[in-house]
């Protein structure tokens, strides 16, 4: 396979059963070049060089945060020591657990070894986000992976703009990087622009940002990186990378031209990457870096049970289904779950259908109600008042 752009040539070669990539400034690739060893590029050469330099990592490869410490402190440390970056799965952890994990990671990694923290949007409970950001600022966390955002929040702006300063040679120093995981162009658009003025002004008024931080914030985008999440093992909009990546690249180019940022916004890929071939495909699509989730659940460092790891080891690509996401149930968000041998996805989807159809449990007709009382909800039904909707 070989594709050309005006100034760059990108080739993926199948050599001895392995896909190898070439991305070069040269105008032409002659077949004789392909036989030369210089074309056998290594994993270190994949992805955006400046991205790797900025993060101080060897590989443009990230382990994404996974809920309740599935992306554990041990994964984060193992990644950091090996020249990658991993994000701690802070979602669902108590603040003292996050704090203790931060301390562990900071004590295990040397200066310059990269690590980051996941930050989940909590529109209905902004105090969770706020206190998490307090912790990140207290411990000098430089890299945050922001997820589940539909809009920019004050906590996110506070994290991004705190500590901004202009050096003597006029460069804006940005101590806090945000990698925004998005699967929709409108959300990417929010992250590719400077922080919303209204939020900045409010933070300024509250004394949570200095005048200079607020002013410098208007020259930088909210996120340093956009990670384009195609259909994944986490929350998923079930998007297709082939369709989504070019759209996001165009958006990035548009906003880079509009705001003339001095720091480039990098665009990476996530979702469905679990093999070297899929990783190669993501780089061919122009990813500056790749990020994986599901595949890391099978590592010894993952903060998950042996039972889950055993199930994951056994399944194949066709053995998954979509189910409603517990934490974003009202929004209709979905997660990808194991289907093979489990009732969970079909039962969860049935309950979600009932939730949409009825206002209260006692509106459900007797036959249907009895079936779900008996087979699914059981004693848990007693917990809900008559007027309450299931699951709320
Ligand atoms: C079990 C599981 C839990 C996840 N939890 C989170 C989370 O709490 N926060 C987050 O930003 N992403 C979460 N993700 C998404 C991953 O960080 C990553 O973006 C995604 O898994 C990449 O797609 P892949 O699973 O196809 O590799 C989770 C993914 C999985 C599989």
pLDDT tens profile 276-334: 999 999 999 999 999 999 999 999 999 999 999 999 989 998 999 999 988 777 788 89
382 band by pLDDT with thresholds 50, 70 and 90: low
The arithmetic mean of pLDDT across residues 214-234, rounded, is 96
**What is the best residue among 63, 66, 182 to mutate for testing ligand 1's pocket, by most ligand atoms within 8 Å of CB?**
66
39 band by pLDDT with thresholds 50, 70 and 90: low
The arithmetic mean of pLDDT across residues 59-72, rounded, is 97
The Å distance, Cα 19 to ligand 1 centre, comes to: 26
Residue with CA at minimum distance from ligand 1 atom 18: 293
Q: How many CA atoms lie within 13 A of 316 on its CB side?
A: 1
Whether the predicted pLDDT of 220 surpasses 50: yes
The arithmetic mean of pLDDT across residues 166-178, rounded, is 96
- CATH, range 44-304: 3.20.20.70
369 band by pLDDT with thresholds 50, 70 and 90: confident
The arithmetic mean of pLDDT across residues 251-256, rounded, is 97
241 band by pLDDT with thresholds 50, 70 and 90: very high
The Å distance, Cα 293 to ligand 1 centre, comes to: 5
pLDDT value of position 1: 36
Both tokens assigned to 90 = 């802070």
The answer to whether 79 and 86 have CB atoms below 8 angstroms apart is yes
**What is the best residue among 64, 71, 328 to mutate for testing ligand 1's pocket, by most ligand atoms within 8 Å of CB?**
64
Whether the predicted pLDDT of 156 surpasses 80: yes
Residue 266: other Cβ atoms inside 10 A:
21
For residue 69 and ligand 1, the question of a CB distance below 6 A is answered with no
Residue with CA at minimum distance from ligand 1 atom 5: 66
Whether the predicted pLDDT of 379 surpasses 80: no
For residue 229 and ligand 1, the question of a CB distance below 6 A is answered with yes
The answer to whether 66 and 79 have CB atoms below 8 angstroms apart is no
**What is the best residue among 61, 63, 65, 225 to mutate for testing ligand 1's pocket, by most ligand atoms within 8 Å of CB?**
65
Q: Which residues contact 331 (CB under 8 A, 6 or more apart)?
A: none
Task: Classify burial at 35, counting beta carbons within 10 Å of its beta carbon; exposed 0-12, middle 13-18, buried 19 or more.
Answer: exposed
For residue 291 and ligand 1, the question of a CB distance below 6 A is answered with yes
Q: Which stretches of the chain are DSSP H helices?
A: 31-35, 49-55, 73-81, 95-108, 126-138, 154-161, 185-192, 197-205, 211-216, 241-259, 276-284, 306-314, 344-357, 366-372
CA distances from 220 to 36, 172, 174, 177, 205 (A): 42, 9, 9, 11, 21
For residue 181 and ligand 1, the question of a CB distance below 6 A is answered with yes
For residue 183 and ligand 1, the question of a CB distance below 6 A is answered with no
pLDDT value of position 24: 53
Range from 138-152, 236-250, 277-291, 320-334 carrying the lowest mean pLDDT: 320-334
For residue 221 and ligand 1, the question of a CB distance below 6 A is answered with no
The answer to whether 132 and 92 have CB atoms below 8 angstroms apart is no
Q: Which residues contact 71 (CB under 8 A, 6 or more apart)?
A: 63, 64, 65, 86, 87, 88, 89, 118, 293, 296, 302, 303
The Å distance, Cα 264 to ligand 1 centre, comes to: 25
For residue 233 and ligand 1, the question of a CB distance below 6 A is answered with yes
Question: Within the chain, which residue ranges are assigned CATH 3.20.20.70?
Answer: 44-304
Range from 103-117, 127-141, 305-319 carrying the lowest mean pLDDT: 305-319
């Amino acid at each position: 396979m070989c594709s050309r752009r005006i100034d760059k040539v990108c080739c993926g070669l199948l050599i001895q059963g392995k896909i190898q990539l070439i991305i070069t400034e040269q105008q032409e690739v002659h077949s004789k070049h392909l036989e030369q060893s210089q074309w056998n590029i290594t994993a270190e050469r994949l992805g955006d060089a400046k991205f790797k330099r900025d993060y101080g990592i060897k590989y443009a490869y990230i382990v994404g945060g996974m809920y309740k410490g599935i992306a554990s402190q041990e994964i984060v440390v193992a990644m950091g020591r090996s020249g990658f970056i991993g994000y701690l799965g802070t979602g669902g952890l108590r603040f003292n657990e996050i704090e203790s994990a931060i301390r562990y990671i900071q004590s295990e990694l040397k200066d310059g070894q990269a690590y980051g923290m996941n930050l989940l949007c909590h529109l209905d409970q902004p105090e969770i986000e706020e206190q998490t950001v307090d912790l990140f600022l207290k411990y000098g966390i430089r890299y945050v992976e922001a997820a589940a955002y539909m809009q920019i929040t004050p906590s996110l702006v506070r994290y991004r703009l705190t500590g901004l300063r202009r050096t003597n040679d006029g460069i804006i120093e940005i101590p806090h990087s945000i990698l925004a995981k998005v699967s929709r162009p409108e959300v990417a658009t929010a992250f590719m622009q400077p922080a919303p003025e209204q939020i900045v002004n409010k933070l300024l008024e509250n004394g949570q940002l200095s005048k200079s931080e607020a002013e410098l914030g208007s020259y930088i985008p909210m996120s340093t990186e956009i990670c384009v999440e195609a259909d994944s093992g986490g929350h998923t909009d079930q998007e297709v990378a082939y369709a989504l990546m070019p759209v996001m690249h165009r958006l990035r180019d548009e906003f880079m031209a509009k705001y003339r940022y001095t720091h480039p916004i990098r665009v990476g890929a996530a979702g469905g990457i679990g093999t070297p071939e899929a990783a190669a495909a993501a780089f061919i699509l122009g990813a500056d870096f790749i990020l994986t989730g599901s595949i890391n659940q099978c590592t010894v460092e993952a903060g998950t049970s042996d039972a889950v790891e055993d199930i994951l080891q056994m399944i194949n690509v066709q053995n998954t289904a979509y189910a409603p996401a517990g934490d974003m149930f009202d929004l209709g968000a979905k997660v990808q779950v194991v289907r093979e041998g489990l009732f969970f996805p079909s039962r969860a989807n049935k309950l979600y259908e009932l939730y949409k159809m009825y206002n209260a449990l006692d509106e459900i007709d007797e036959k249907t109600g009895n079936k779900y009382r008996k087979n699914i909800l059981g004693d848990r039904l007693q917990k809900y008042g008559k007027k309450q909707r299931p699951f709320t």
